[in-house]
Structure 1
Amino acid sequence: MRRFRNFNDDTSASEINISPLIDVVFILLIFFIVTTVFVEETGVDVNKPRAASAEDLNKNSILIAVTSNGQVYQGGRSIGVAGVRSVVAAMLESDDSTPVIIQGDTDANHGLVVQVIDAAKLAGAKTVNLATAK
């Protein structure tokens, strides 16, 4: 019976195959990109009034800002009162339980804030909240 000898040949370099590692890193990158939640801001600074009953709300919400000079903003662009209904309706298509948060400036016209609330409700929003400072 012959015996086989196992010779270690020092001339052959052993390599580590990193292809599976690159695949795993790529899959993790895709996973983190897909599952990341981006917080959307209104794009303008609003001086919100203070309220003793203020509560923190869900991060996934539709933010609309009403400034003191009568401008209505969503996502950094001026949409006006006429654009509130279409913007809210489009954003509610994916999830109709998303709350709408209106950030009204302390010096904003009360009638304009009510018009924005009304337009959001007519667009199908189940929950409309007013943002305040704690």
Structure 2
Amino acid sequence: MSRFRSSMREDTQEADVNISPLIDCVFILLIFFIVTTTFVEETGVEVDKPQAASSVNLERNSILIAITGNGEVVYGGNRIGLGGVRPLVKRMLQKEDVPVIIQADREVQSGILVRVIDEAKLAGAEKVSVATRKQKS
């Protein structure tokens, strides 16, 4: 009878589940999503964009420059002024050829907007756009 009991104990051992391959797959997926994700840099200020019927969505990779209602030129939450637009755009275009998008408040004087567009084009930007809101029909 004791031989029978000892053989029963050997057969009822608990089966272990090896989760190491599962953890490896999760880390590989995490690394994949981190590498392939593109992040959109915001300008750091809130502007009231004008509406336009011809609004279209532009590329995610772009240089976003904001002009506030009181005429301040902002990039990444920092005031860069009109003189900072050309060096900034030139430096960003050395990495990759991306469009420049200007988010101008609807109260901005047209002269300041034109000067920012001019500075971006003088820095070598081929595509310069003004951000607008889609007009509600």
Does TM, normalized by the shorter one, top 0.5? Answer: yes
Give the TM-score normalised by structure 2: 0.83
Structure 2: how far apart are the matches of 1:11 and 1:133? 68
Question: What's 2:47 paired with?
Answer: 46
Question: What's 2:127 paired with?
Answer: 127
Q: Size of the alignment, in residue pairs?
A: 127
Structure 2: how far apart are the matches of 1:31 and 1:87? 30
Structure 2: how far apart are the matches of 1:37 and 1:73? 22
Structure 2: how far apart are the matches of 1:94 and 1:15? 51
Deviation of residue 12 (structure 1)? 4.1
Q: Which runs of 4+ in 1 moved over 6 A?
A: none
Deviation of residue 21 (structure 1)? 1.4
Question: What's 1:4 paired with?
Answer: none
SS in structure 2 of the partner of residue 116 of structure 1: helix
- Which one has the bigger helix percentage? 2
Deviation of residue 10 (structure 1)? 2.7
Structure 2: how far apart are the matches of 1:14 and 1:34? 37
Deviation of residue 94 (structure 1)? 2.4
SS in structure 1 of the partner of residue 133 of structure 2: coil
Single out whichever of 75-84 and 10-19 deviates more from structure 2. 10-19
- Identical residues among aligned pairs (%): 61
Matches within 5 A, 1:8-47: 9-10=10-11, 12-47=13-48
Question: What's 1:74 paired with?
Answer: 75
Question: What's 2:110 paired with?
Answer: 110
Single out whichever of 11-20 and 79-88 deviates more from structure 2. 11-20
Q: Unaligned stretches of 5+ in structure 2?
A: 1-6
Question: What's 1:3 paired with?
Answer: none
